[in-house]
Structure 1
Amino acid sequence: MPEIRVLLVDDHPVVRAGLRAMLGDFDGVVVVDEAADGAGAIAAVRRLASTGGPVDVVLMDLQMGPGMDGVTATREVRALEDPPQVLILTTYDTDADIIAAVEAGAGGYLLKDAPPEEIRRAVQSAARGQTALAPEVASRLMGRISSPATSLSAREIQLLELLATGLSNRLIARELFISEATVKTHLVHIYDKLQVDNRTAAIAAARKQRIIRS
């Protein structure tokens, strides 16, 4: 079986060094490059592909300081010709982050406290084009599937994230390219699903349930 070529993407050099050391202990896995943000990741994938040594798996963080975030980078990497698989490795396990990553084309989602063996299996699964999810992430996704009537939609979660920043209905409508009436309709559904009756309570409930970040 050919070596699995991995690109590490994280804004913390210490984290990248730790991952490089850990992956170096795995037979059949080689780290071919590193990047500190999404733009660097895209450039590295393109450069390596042009030199005949394409990347198989991108191990991608989600939040990377002022640089391009992992979701945007995942979307752009997956839009390239013959794209590598993207495996998210992050500290965030909210519905908002998971759904955004999956919709962007990520083939896996792990948490940074995962045991080395779990990361090894995930890298191998991603290289084969198979889905690789942390048990906690899989549980949250299964919960959404099993309770669709009470689970917030991706659009409702997106609206909640904007709500948490303090935006008015008008500004939320502008941001999402929808009408204010549609925003109000979404809010009615959100309040009903979260069993609350106002914006503040909705934000608090969403944070408590790890639907959006605190």
Structure 2
Amino acid sequence: MLKATNTKAIVAEAFTSFQGEGPWAGQRCAFVRFSRCNLRCTWCDTKETWDWSQFDPAEVSTKVPVPDVAAWVREQQVDLVVITGGEPMLQQPAMTALATGLPGVRVQVETNGTQAPCDQLAERVDMWVVSPKLANSGMPYGTRIVPDALTALRDTGRAVFKFVVTEPGHDLDEIADLVAAHDLRPVWVMPQGQTRDDVLAGMDALHGPAVDRGWNVTTRLHLLHGAR
């Protein structure tokens, strides 16, 4: 059980579905989406976690005691929780309390790779899905790529590196440069897209080039099947 704590998490939403992306795609899980982000990617599909020009934070996020979040996860009777965002690593005390309060539940964290984890959190996370942003995000290089954070996540030994691709020709070369510069492995590439047709077209474009480079490809199952 979670120890008594006054820690609260700023949460955008929580729901049960299946993981749609990455190495654990297809697995039933509980998602806890933390609000707030330190990046402003042009193609972001969760702008309700940070874009206050379009959303009122009081309406799209709630401060929830971490024990309540942990209790909700346990009620879902899942063996996997995905902590995502936004950028959840901006709330590491809440993440750590949540992760340690769920014994027997695997913890996967989705992060943009700009924040290094504290030791207690690093020990409890079973898989880090690190998604460094490319130039296609519209963010400056020095903001979206933080070498010390990438190294810390890589050195946990439980990280995979997933890149969102909009233009395969250019983006794959950029990914190769980042992989070489920071020794980021294993690599997963994923097409950007918000519709079934976009995802399928992106998968067609990525398959051959990714195989040639020795990388993995992930689809976006939740978009293909109309899930969240």
TM range (shorter): 0.3 to 0.5
Higher relative contact order (CA 8 A, sep 6+): 2
The structure in which a higher percent of residues are strand is 2
TM-score, normalised to structure 1's length? Answer: 0.37
The structure that has the greater radius of gyration is 1
The structure in which a higher percent of residues are helix is 1
TM-score, normalised to structure 2's length? Answer: 0.36
